[in-house]
Structures are given as C-alpha cells and as structure tokens.
Structure 1
C-alpha cells in the first residue's frame, strides 16, 4: 500500500470519526476545509505558537489560575509558607554571621541528587557556598509553595512547579561568570582566554543557526562513522526502508530479529559507531537482523495516522521478512515509540496470525501513559488542541519543537550547563556518536502526532482497550508470546515505573530489566563499556503480579550490560542454528535496492 493510497482511502467511521468510547474525534484530516471562523482561530493559534515554541498560553494560564485561586482561599497555607520563609531567613542570617573558622559548607541545604551545578570543590568556598545555598533555599521554598496545596489538580500543580523551577534555573548562580567560582578560576588560570574562546564559540553557533546547521561538534558521517554495519536495503515503500544486515558468522539463528525504532529520531541510535552498535553486536552473535528506517515526513504526509504507520511500517516489514525468511517466527523488537507501535501490531497479529512472532522485546517503551513522567506536563486538552492548530497549518511538527520539549525536561544538563561550558568556560564537548545522532532530528506528521498525543497520552486508549486498529479494538492482553522489557533508571521520556505497567496488561511471560542510565544511554550499553549495571526479574504469565517497589527489592542486581542477558533470552527461544545466507536479496529473489544505510536516513 502506498502513502497516496492511504491518503485516498475513504475514512473509516469506526476509526477516524469517533474515538473508542463513541465521542467525536477532535483531530480532522488536514485537507478537510474549515469554516471561516475556524480558519481564523487556527491562524491565530498558529501565529501565537511561533512565539511560544508550541506551548499553549491558555494551558499555562489555567494551571496558574488553579494554583493561585486555591492558594488565595487557603490562609492557613499562606501563613505556613510565610513562617517557613521567615524561619529560613533567620537560619540564613545565623549562617552568614558564623566566623570563618567555624564555617561548615552546605550547613542549611544541599543540592538534590543529580543536580551537578554546584558539584565542584570551589562551591564549598564561603562566598560562593552562601550564594548557592540562598538559591537552593529559594528553590526549596517555591517547591513547597507550588506543591501539595489541597484542591489543586495534580496535573496543574506539576505544571506550576515545573514552570517556576524553569524560571529559577535561569537565575542560578552557576549561570553567571561573577558568581561561578569555576568560571572565575578558569579566567585567572587562562588570563581571560576562556571568555575569548567563549565569544568565538558563540559566533560559530550564531553562524550555524543562520544556515540551519546543528550546533556543537561536527557530526559523525552517516554510513561511514555511524550506521555503518554492512547490509542491504531489501524492501522499500513510501514510508519505510527495510534493511537486512549481512551475516558475520557461518551459522545463524533461524529466527530473524526485526527492530522497530522510533521515528521521532533516525534509526541509527541502535547502530551507532561500531563499538556502540547494538545491530553489530547481534549480527556478530549469529542473529539475522532487519531494521526499519523511517522516511522523514514532509507537509505532503500530513494525513498519515498512527495506524498508517502500523500498516506501512511494522506490518509491511513483517510481510517482507516472511518472504525472505519463510516459515520462521520473528523476534520483534521496538524502541521508544517504535515499541508502543510494535505492541499494538503484535497484539493484532496474535489474533490474526498466531505463531508469527517468537518473542517481543520492548526497549524504553510505554503502553500505559498514566504515569508517563514530566513529558505529560505538555499534554493536556488545551496543549494538544493548540499543537493541532499549529501542525494543521504546517502539516508537520518541526524538529525544533520536539527537541525543545525534551531539552526542557533536563534544562540544567541540556541547556544551562552547555551554555556555561561553551560560552563562559570557552570549552566544547568532545564529539560523540550519540550527540551527533541527537542532533539529527525528524519531523512528525500532523495526524500521526495528534493520534499519539490524544489517543495514547491524553486518553490512554491503548491501555484501557479503546484504541482501534482497522476499526477493531486492540487488547494488550492478547500479547502471549515471551517478552523481554527494558526500562532505564533515569528515563525522563519513558519512566521505568510506567514501562513496568506492561505486567498489568500483557498475558505473557515477561523478563523485565531495569538498566542504569537514561532513555538513550541506558539502551546503548555495549559490554565493552564499563560502568553499566542492571536488575533482572522474570515472571511467568501465571504468577502473581509484582509491583515496582517489590520488584526493586526482589530483582537481582548485576554488573555489566543487559545486552548479554538479551542474547541469552533470544537464544533460549530459538531453534537450532542454520547456515547463513550466502547473499542478500529482496523479496521474490530480486536484487537488493541499494547498500545500507539506504536513502531515507539521509533525508533532512
């Protein structure tokens, strides 16, 4: 099926015109004409979005109004906050009046775990330590003021707390040269050379912005430095290229591995430089690996929906693999949003084609979005409607909006620390394959992104049985093949407790792994790299449910990479090895289309 065929097909009332609970769907095809008043509203919202980076002012105002009105009606809470502020001020005054000989760093408050802004030894010097503690006390007080207020909705309280924290982070003493001892020490050691280097870095970044070039170190070359594992493009449609990687062993596991990456970014997060490549790791251990490479959509693809991604992506890839490796079940693997899509496709396949899949692996992928972390701060009715108006005009969600949302979740690490390092310290981070991949963003079609936000995030239709595929409800309880599920400890995109909810939904044997690291670094965990660890606990389908806190207590903690554990899982559920293919070919014996990594990954 081509993209044009998808766009031309008649709308299914069961799938497009109503939601799973029978209420009218909000998202409309972008080519459906609007009334005059609707067009005016949409144009105004799109214009505002250019100034706000896609954030809805109405959604933010409603959250602050909820908090402020409840605080105004709570004199006891206001008194408590006032007394707390006075007590902190008195303690602070006593601290700064302490003689230097009796000075104790971090006397009043310490940075929270993971806050590395004040980690250097110079921050224990009295003058700078006083500034840091004053800032942390203010941050602590504001957190108390914006959270735990009786009557304020949990979602609105989280938005207010997050917004206030972002405002405070702007004025942190670590962000200014005169109040950052590490910057001042570097200035003394270099004779001010750090400011000269920082000025040049700033000029380079301004130039790169003008020519729409990614900021930072020169990127790795796709197909040479990254995405370099040898293979062929064996199938292509208007949405995906399917890459089959060349075997590296004489004999191979008979069941192929299909990897479904997220299409928010390029696929080669799982095929970075040779020492970090999960694909190369699998191929060298005797697995036949297929990878989906998504096309970077443009405005013409605005009406491609999430179910079109399933049909043109996962289903099309499985059909092609069934022709290339006939009569063999598939070890299907999905990462992030690709894992969510794979879970949907696998649940349907379990009913329509039992035995098609041998196992399902989900890497940092959510299927229940109730507790989806701080990313849900950007997902409410006002925000989704605002984004829909913006995307309807453009046809896609541009890369800048997507990248900006993820950077805000970790603003200290992704924004402020980088500005300090580049412009005040005059340094540049060493180039890395992961940084290069992170700068290689993609766009999101209007309808698909709206489906994702509204049906999965906002309404949680998949977990609650309302998500429709081809007009039929998808039940995750139909997932009965063995599953290997990975969450990561410091994941801001797919928190591991949210990933763990697969235990409540799938009727399958599940090996759940909690890996060290974050959403990307926790998944890219080669055994050759030191510092990795993970916890593992397996649960059979007929065993009682184990909640996340109990899971943490019971799971065995192990040093090393979870990749090795995954290979053991796949091998135990595979048949006797067979001779590897002597040459790769497309379905029906035709010649491959071209060498990996193909052309779609090179699109900008």
Structure 2
C-alpha cells in the first residue's frame, strides 16, 4: 500500500480541479464517470468495496440523480441543505441550484463509497479523510465560474472585487498562507496578551512571566500555567474579558506562566528531554523559589498538559512531589484515541520525519498550521478562498484567528520523539515504558488532586481521550480526580468566560466509569465551567496571604514587562 501523503494528494487534486474536463466529469452522473480521483485513490491504498455494496450505492445514486434531473427539467429549485449554498444567488437560478445539488449528491456518493471500503480501521479513517478533503476542494463555491455570489459581486463592483481578490491572493502567496483576519489590527502586548506582569526568568527554551495581582490578598500557593509549545501562550490571554490568566489572577492567585521560545536553527538539536528538564521542571523550581512554597498548583493546556504531566512524573521518580494540584485542559496522556490527527501518523510518515529532522532540524510552524487547517478545511481554508479571493472581501479583525495565524516552529528531535512515543506507540500511558530526563515515567506516581477538562466537540483531543487521563492519574485514589466536560471545541470550549453566559458543561463525581457511562449519568449546567475550576484551585491554594511586594526576588529580578520578547518572535 502506498504511503498516505495528504499534501501530495492535495496538490494532485488541485491540479485536476483546474482542468475543465475534470470539472465536467464531476458534473456527470457517477455511473457514467470515467475513473475518478477518489476511485484511483482507493485503488492505490489497496482498498476494495464489495461488489454488491457498490451496485446498491450506484442504484441509489442513479435514482436520486434521475429525480434531480427531472426537477431541473421543470425548473424546480432543489433543497440545498448546506450553509455554503444558503445565499439567495444559489436559489435564484436553476443552473446554479443544479450545480450545487449535483455536487452535494456526488459528495454523498463518494463518502458512502469511502465508508463502505473493506480495509483496516486506520486505513479506512485515512481514506475517509482524504475523500472529504477532495470533496471540500471541489465545491462549486470555490470557483468563480460556478459561484453566483462571486459573479454578482464582480458585476456590481464593475470588476473591482476580482482585482482586489487577486491582489489579496498574491499577498497571501507571498506570506505562504491564507489570511483569516486583518492581522494589522492586532499587536502582541498592545491589544492581545495585555495582562500586566513581569518576566522574572528566562533561558533558551522559555521566559517565565509573573502576573501582577488584582486582589488585596492572594492564595499562599501560586499557580504555574504551561501552555502548548506548538502555539503562542496568549490563547490564554487574548482580551481582558476572555483571558484565562486574568480570571485566575482575579480569583486571588499569583499566576506564573511559561512563554515558550519560537525555535530557530540555534535550537535545532533540542529534545523532548530538554523541554521537560530545562522547560517545565525548571519553571516549577523557579516558581517554588520565588514563592517560597514547596507545593504549587500546576496547569497544562493541550501539549502543555502532556509536558507538565511528564515533568511531574519525572520529579516523582526522583522523590519530589511539588504539585498541590494538577489541572489538565484538552490534554492527551493516553493516545489511544487521537481523533482526525491519526490520519497523519503511521510508521512510514514518522520515519520520514525522523530521517529529515530527527537528529537536527526545525519543523516550520506553517507546516503545523497547514495540517490543523486541513482538519476543518471548509471553515479554515475554502471559506477564505471564497470571501478573500473570489469576492475580494477583506477579512475582518478577530483576535482568535490572529493568534491562530501566529504559528510556532518546533525543534525536529523534540517533535519526532513526541510523534513516535505518544501518537504512534502510545508509550506515555505505560508505567516505566519511557525514560525521560534520566527517569522512568509513571504517571500514576504523580501525587496530586487532578482537575481534567475535555471539550465535547473537540476534533484534536476527543473528549473521551481527555477523560482517559482519569484512569492514569491517582490510580489507587480515583476520588482525587475530577472531570468536567464543556461544550464546543478545542479552543472555544476552553476560552469560555462566565460573564458571557454561553454554552454549558457537564459534571459527574464518578470518574471510575467508562466515558459514555460517565456522560449518561452526568448533570448538565448552563454557562462556563470556569467557576468549577476556580473552586478546585481555591481548595488547593492554601490560606490567603499578603500580595508579593515585587515580582520575582533577589535571585530572580525583573527582566522586562510582560508579555516579553519571546512571544513576539514570529515563525514567518
């Protein structure tokens, strides 16, 4: 079976799409089509479909296509139940309605084919992802010649929309990525990442920020936040009204936060061991020394949670237990269920990475950004192709999308170790299977109450996978683990401040159940889960004491104001 290479396949599909003959093939009934890219791909991947199943799918398809053709013949507008075709322009002309309807019909047929292949589960998942990518790319909304909205805009603007769209497309080609927001509207430290604080420590891997208190007294034990190193930290500090950092400070916590460096060639040999020893463990020790507390509250978001959990396990193997509590937000410790990212991980793809950057090198941030965008291509790619290029509309300012575009590089050795030992071989959950920073890793040895959060619609860390952490932590004392499930996805579920009174969350004191049983007996609550987390932190924060008079101390004096230099280094 050939190696699954989404980028190569994506390029091939795009070259086919600009071919008018290929587009005409797409518009024909599937039974009369010549072999399509999807069929070729299925064959290349060694997948087969039972002939009886294929015959049934073709029969059902032809019946639906016949009805669609009859409706078109009498100018009956079909029902287009898809938000890409919700504008009136798609419904005001039979030809455009037929174009969209036939596309949707063909899309359903191709996905039914993908779901019917006889192949191992992982191969089937890759096939489904690849077919969905092709389907998304081939939408008539993505082409000027078949997009009536863009055509109307072109006429109304007397060609100005197309000229502007081409200008924006050329600018994006220069940048190497699609603009999702007006990036000129934001500046780190000016209107994002604005919480007041001071950098009190730095090494080549990170800066440590200590935030300024906003209360008269604070909890005795500080809170150390470890964000993911694959993104900038300020997803936790976007605007004052939706800042996780600001919320924690306002609840009376002395907050420290790791701001990871954006690696360049000088960090091309940095390993996972370095991120644990010189990153998370060093941050823990500095916070202990500044606060004069042996116990601190620890916090990790996404990969940051994997890093801080590994660090605490390494320290446990050394006989140290610095965590008063551990908070994990949308974090993978058990990599059995990795959602759609699983399609990018197999032995051949990991080996390829190891051969190119495994001993020395840098994984460009734009590569990671492209991968994550492909997971939601309609929302994060084609939506902007239509608005920015076909219609010539300038993307509006949006802080979250500005952060999303502010990508971060990764050291090759670190990334390859992480890819193989977690996503591919799932060794982190196995006690003693990994040696990190000279110590055997056993997550069950972390001696701290744990607050674990998952987002119900998360496509990067499925909530069931986040819940699986409760089986690994405190294995002999399950009552020390708390799991909370929030609505929405990987980011929106986390960044959900109470003041907005949006969404909902679920709680269940029993964490010894399987995930579906947990949810079945869970209680739903309106609004944000943040107050639940705040109560947990307060329980493990110690008594209230006077606020620190100055940030840092004599050994760790102020270096510069937050958000510091490191976060301002761009990957592009």
TM-score normalised according to structure 1 size: 0.81
* 1:367 is the counterpart of 2:340: no
In the alignment, the residues of structure 1 paired with residue 282 and residue 236 of structure 2 have an alpha-carbon distance, to the nearest angstrom, of: 21
Q: Structure 1's 250 and 138: CA in aligned 2 closer, same or farther, altered over 3 A?
A: same
Instruction: Give ranges in structure 2 of 5+ residues lacking alignment.
Output: 13-37
In the alignment, the residues of structure 1 paired with residue 322 and residue 221 of structure 2 have an alpha-carbon distance, to the nearest angstrom, of: 11
Aligned position for 1:320: 286
* 1:117 is the counterpart of 2:89: no
Q: Structure 1's 184 and 489: CA in aligned 2 closer, same or farther, altered over 3 A?
A: farther
Aligned position for 2:26: none
After superposition, residues 331-370 of structure 1 pair within 5 angstroms as: 331-353=297-319, 355-370=321-336
Match 1:130 to one of 98, 109, 123: 98
- Alpha carbons 2:314, 2:439 under 8 Å: kept: no
1:344-377 Cα distance to aligned partner (Å, 9 max, x none): 1223334544552111111111011111011111
SS in 2 for 1:279: helix
Q: How far off its partner does 1:131 sit?
A: 2.6
In the alignment, the residues of structure 1 paired with residue 535 and residue 90 of structure 2 have an alpha-carbon distance, to the nearest angstrom, of: 47
1:289-327 Cα distance to aligned partner (Å, 9 max, x none): 000111112223222211210111111011111111113
Q: How far off its partner does 1:477 sit?
A: 1.9
Aligned position for 2:126: 159
Match 2:203 to one of 234, 237, 247: 237
* 1:311 is the counterpart of 2:284: no
After superposition, residues 403-442 of structure 1 pair within 5 angstroms as: 403-442=369-408
Aligned position for 1:512: 483
- Alpha carbons 1:300, 1:395 under 8 Å: kept: no
How many residues align? The count is 535
Aligned position for 1:58: none
Moved more, 506-515 or 592-601: 506-515
Q: Structure 1's 168 and 54: CA in aligned 2 closer, same or farther, altered over 3 A?
A: closer
RMSD: 3.1
Aligned position for 1:31: none
- Alpha carbons 1:250, 1:580 under 8 Å: kept: yes
SS in 2 for 1:412: helix
Aligned position for 1:525: 496
Match 2:260 to one of 291, 294, 299: 294
Q: How far off its partner does 1:188 sit?
A: 5.5
Aligned position for 1:217: 182
TM-score normalised according to structure 2 size: 0.86
SS in 1 for 2:314: helix
Q: How far off its partner does 1:230 sit?
A: 1.2
Match 1:381 to one of 320, 341, 347: 347
In the alignment, the residues of structure 2 paired with residue 360 and residue 100 of structure 1 have an alpha-carbon distance, to the nearest angstrom, of: 64
1:501-556 Cα distance to aligned partner (Å, 9 max, x none): 1122122422222222221222221223353322222336xxxx222222222222
After superposition, residues 61-76 of structure 1 pair within 5 angstroms as: 69-71=46-48
Q: How far off its partner does 1:104 sit?
A: 7.2
- Alpha carbons 1:239, 1:295 under 8 Å: kept: yes
Aligned position for 1:149: 117
Aligned position for 2:538: 571
SS in 2 for 1:80: helix
Match 2:64 to one of 67, 91, 99: 91
In the alignment, the residues of structure 2 paired with residue 99 and residue 377 of structure 1 have an alpha-carbon distance, to the nearest angstrom, of: 39
After superposition, residues 41-52 of structure 1 pair within 5 angstroms as: none
In the alignment, the residues of structure 1 paired with residue 75 and residue 516 of structure 2 have an alpha-carbon distance, to the nearest angstrom, of: 42
SS in 1 for 2:297: strand
Q: Structure 1's 53 and 252: CA in aligned 2 closer, same or farther, altered over 3 A?
A: farther
In the alignment, the residues of structure 2 paired with residue 99 and residue 68 of structure 1 have an alpha-carbon distance, to the nearest angstrom, of: 37
Q: Structure 1's 93 and 386: CA in aligned 2 closer, same or farther, altered over 3 A?
A: same
Aligned position for 1:24: none
1:477-516 Cα distance to aligned partner (Å, 9 max, x none): 2234221111112222212121111122122422222222
Aligned position for 1:264: 230
- Alpha carbons 2:359, 2:413 under 8 Å: kept: no
Q: How far off its partner does 1:177 sit?
A: 3.0
SS in 2 for 1:117: helix
Moved more, 310-319 or 478-487: 478-487
- Alpha carbons 1:67, 1:156 under 8 Å: kept: no
Q: Structure 1's 538 and 122: CA in aligned 2 closer, same or farther, altered over 3 A?
A: farther
Q: How far off its partner does 1:600 sit?
A: 1.5
SS in 2 for 1:241: strand
Which one scores higher on RCO, CA 8 angstroms, separation ≥ 6? 1
Instruction: Give ranges in structure 1 of 5+ residues lacking alignment.
Output: 1-44, 56-60
